């Protein structure tokens, strides 16, 4: 899998460069990227993040500094995906719009979570493993479940 046309800080650590797919994205200083991660064009990852193996970060996702992304986390950027247009032709980039998603500084996303397009995960929020985030998450909140619901306020450290 290639690393092409990506702006990657020289202090970023990519554990197995031949087993990631990074293209047209930006990755900040001291960030760690695990094996079998894909980061698409237009995605931005800040400094001192940890992106665990098997995660997918699509176009339109912005991850701020010091964010933890657990194993197998999936981001979605199309609210109503379709394979074809109304006329039956395969869709192209011109046939849909990106639903932008933001993960604010210091947030943590548990293993296997799915983050739907168009949401904001607030600073220092914690997303439980296996959760499906369908709406915005307030700063310092802990959410879990399918769909993700508020559990408690996170204790600042």
Per-residue pLDDT at 25 exceeds 70: yes
Per-residue pLDDT at 1 exceeds 60: no
Across 103-127, average pLDDT: 98
- Tell me which long-range contacts 96-104 makes (C-beta under 8 A, separation of at least 24): 98/42, 98/59, 98/60, 99/60, 100/60, 100/61, 100/62, 101/60, 101/61, 101/62, 101/75, 101/77, 102/61, 102/62, 102/64, 103/61, 103/62, 103/63, 103/64, 103/67, 103/69, 104/64, 104/67, 104/139
Does the 3-79+97-153 domain belong in CATH 2.160.10.10?
yes
Q: Quickly state the pLDDT bin for 27 (edges 50, 70, 90).
A: very high
Across 134-152, average pLDDT: 98
Across 41-54, average pLDDT: 98
Per-residue pLDDT at 157 exceeds 70: no
């Amino acid at each position: 899998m290639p690393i092409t046309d990506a702006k990657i800080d020289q202090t970023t650590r990519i554990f197995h460069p031949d087993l990631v797919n990074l293209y047209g994205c930006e990755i900040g200083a001291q960030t760690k990227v695990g094996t079998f991660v894909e980061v698409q064009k237009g995605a931005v990852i800040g400094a001192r993040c940890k992106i665990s193996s098997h995660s997918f970060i699509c176009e339109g996702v912005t991850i701020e500094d010091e964010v933890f992304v657990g194993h197998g986390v999936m981001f979605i950027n199309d609210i109503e995906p379709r394979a074809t247009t109304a006329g039956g032709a395969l869709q192209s980039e011109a046939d849909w719009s990106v639903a932008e998603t933001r993960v604010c500084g210091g947030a943590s996303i548990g293993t296997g979570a799915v983050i739907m397009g168009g949401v904001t995960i607030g600073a220092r929020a914690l997303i439980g493993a296996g959760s499906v985030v369908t709406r915005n998450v307030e700063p310092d909140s802990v959410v879990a479940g399918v769909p993700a619901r508020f559990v408690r306020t996170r204790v600042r450290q």
